Amino acid sequence: MWVISRNDLESILKMEEVIEAVEGAFADYAQGRWVIPSRTHFNLPEGVILSMPSFLSPGEGAGGILGAKLVSVFPGNPEKGLPLIYGLYLLYDPATGSPLALIDGVYLTGVRTGAASAVATKYLSRSDSKALGIIGTGVQAGFQLKAILTVREIEVCYLFDKIEDRARKFAEDYSDKLGVKLEVLSSPDEVVGKSDVVVTATTSPIPVVSGSSLREGTHLNVIGAFTPETREVDSEAVKKACLFVDSYEGALSEAGDLLIAMGEGVISREDIRGELSEVVTGIKPGRTTEDEITLFKSVGFAIEDAAVARLAYEKALEKGIGTEIEL
């Protein structure tokens, strides 16, 4: 069995290939090839443990995937100088059930979440989008920036974080690395008002984006909240937008951004235009006009992890990177 560390993943995964793998996973999902049990939440006093298994049946000219991710999310960790998220991914041989690889789940989660937003941005944002806005400049923000730069010719990225120094450090760290202008702004509304594509990547339980600040033609990737009681965008924003989700099942059980608005009677289940898989495969339309406001709500989908885990395993074997162990 191969052990693939964060450093290994950083050296073998290219964002373009990760985006391609995630887009392919959504296409396979539309064809009914994935078996995905509901994500389980093991709630603890200080956090939650999430379990995310999945299986892709072999298709014509393509192998299957079998694996599971186990993730811990402890909101108090950053105050202790620890990561918010820890995670491990176990990849199995889908034909025999034998373990193939143990993979760092934190980097895997980060890069696949960025890739999912990039796929959504590719299909749902205006093709001429030049300004990106990121609200929340924690670890996930870097993945979002790199991924969206891969699918859109972004010229400027506007940033906001409730901890201003963190936003400024993010700007300093990434401006030289990626060759894009980064500017820290004073409020989420200011970011939204200036951006063509907006990412919310916060741990806030209450809205950081108000519908009143949205302008026509904006696309939003709403990725932070993943429980029915928390949300990053208010009901007015949800009402204004054409809504898309990573999966109906996940969104209708976990996406507080949508569920709270439904509870208020602002939207209904029928107002969700489609899953990302349906847009990728052309089953449902994505953006239909230049002035539409589009919103992709992501709570995390096991197929994304599985597809990137297989890609990482194949790359690790090809390049001889990682550590082989005997159980």
- For residues 122 and 146, the answer to whether their CB atoms sit within 8 Å is no
Instruction: Give the residue from 180, 170, 172, 175 showing the smallest Cα distance to 150.
Output: 180
User: Residue 120 is which amino acid?
Assistant: A
Instruction: Give the residue from 281, 232, 280 showing the smallest Cα distance to 256.
Output: 232
| Element at 306 (helix H, strand E) | helix 302-319
Catalytic (active site) residue 297: no
Report residue 109 as tokens: 């989660």
Cβ burial of 45 (10 Å; 0-12, 13-18, 19+) is: exposed
Report residue 293 as tokens: 């406001």
Report residue 63 as tokens: 């192998």
| Element at 17 (helix H, strand E) | helix 15-30
- Could you identify the residue written with the tokens 């001429």? 128
Across-strand partners of 35?
55
Give the contacts of 81 (CB within 8 A, at least 6 positions apart).
none
Give the contacts of 109 (CB within 8 A, at least 6 positions apart).
69, 71, 85, 87, 300, 305
Across-strand partners of 101?
2, 91
Q: How far apart are CA 135 and CA 130, in angstroms?
A: 17
Q: How many C-beta neighbours within 10 Å does residue 284 have?
A: 15
Across-strand partners of 87?
71
User: Residue 86 is which amino acid?
Assistant: Y
> Which residue is catalytic, options 14, 69, 284, 315?
69
Catalytic positions, written as ranges = 69
